[in-house]
Chains A and B, each alone.
Chain A
């Protein structure tokens, strides 16, 4: 059974600061996805990465996928209160099933 470990579990920062959260898998990802979930809502897909070493940027968010395809990081530059939420990594495996990590709960204080 694949295990996805995310760190840190909680992160509270001030507006304008930079941050990085991490996702590590016990096995190679089939297809790595990052989601953000706000309280009382379903998760929203941020990015999908499939190639080892891949880097994708989405405005102030930078996603890196490890060369061995077993780890990933999400870096946010100049965080804003609107970035607050639960950040989840997931592996999209066979039959489109998603295995989620436990997430990093980010709070950006104004």
Chain B
């Protein structure tokens, strides 16, 4: 069964809207989760590392005020795309870190389309 649940799977909204995406770890407590963005026919690009109980660590070039990450519990991280614009349209994927001898488990992604 699924280890990571990501919701919603698909969202369409108007420009200027803020959109929240949830990533839940179903099987174990996760102190570390990751958020990726994938444009069509391109690879996954790491956006940020979500740390339970502390601030997220953002990759270079990713606006932290644009992409708000909250990891308030050991099973839930949320990514909020604030004031979304068409260029933010993408496939957003989260993953849960399993530890040194375990793989990362990925969610099924959220297709975000901004009109």
Interchain CB contact (< 8 A) of A40 among B32, B104, B106, B108: B108
**Closest approach, in angstroms, between the C-beta of A44 and any C-beta of chain B?**
7
Chain B residues with CB under 8 A of A33: 103
| Known contacts A40-B109, A40-B111, A42-B93; A96 and B43 CB within 8 A of each other | no
Count of chain A to chain B residue pairs whose CB atoms are closer than 8 Å in the complex:
47
Name the interface size band of chain B.
20 to 34
**Among the listed B32, B41, B42, B107, which residue makes an inter-chain contact with A42, where contact means beta carbons less than 8 Å apart?**
B107
Please indicate the chain A residues that have their CB under 8 angstroms from the CB of B106 in the complex. Answer: 42-44
Provide the main secondary structure of the chain B interface. Answer: strand
Report the bound CA distance from A42 to B94 in whole Å. Answer: 8
Q: Which stretch, A12-20, A74-82, A97-105, touches the partner chain B?
A: A97-105
In the complex, which range does the number of interface residues on chain A fall in? 20 to 34
Q: Which residues of the other chain, B, contact A42 by a CB distance below 8 angstroms? A: 4, 6, 93, 95, 106-109
A105 to B29, CA, bound (A): 33
Interface centre among B6, B41, B93, B104, by most A CB within 10 Å? Answer: B104
- Contact assessment for A45 and B34 in the assembled complex, using a CB-CB cutoff below 8 Å: no
Which residues of chain A in 76-100 are interfacial with respect to chain B, using CB atoms and an 8 Å cutoff?
88, 92, 95-100
With A96-B32, A97-B49 as given contacts, are A45 and B43 in contact (CB-CB < 8 Å)? no
CB proximity to A under 8 Å, residues B94-108: 95, 97, 103-104, 106-108
* A-B pairs with beta carbons under 8 Å apart, 21 shown: A40-B9, A40-B109, A42-B4, A42-B6, A42-B107, A43-B44, A44-B106, A45-B104, A88-B44, A92-B104, A96-B32, A96-B97, A96-B104, A97-B34, A97-B49, A98-B95, A98-B104, A99-B46, A100-B43, A103-B43, A105-B41
Besides A98-B46, A98-B104, 7 new A-B residue pairs in contact (Cβ under 8 A), listed by A number:
A40-B9, A43-B106, A96-B97, A96-B104, A98-B95, A101-B43, A102-B43
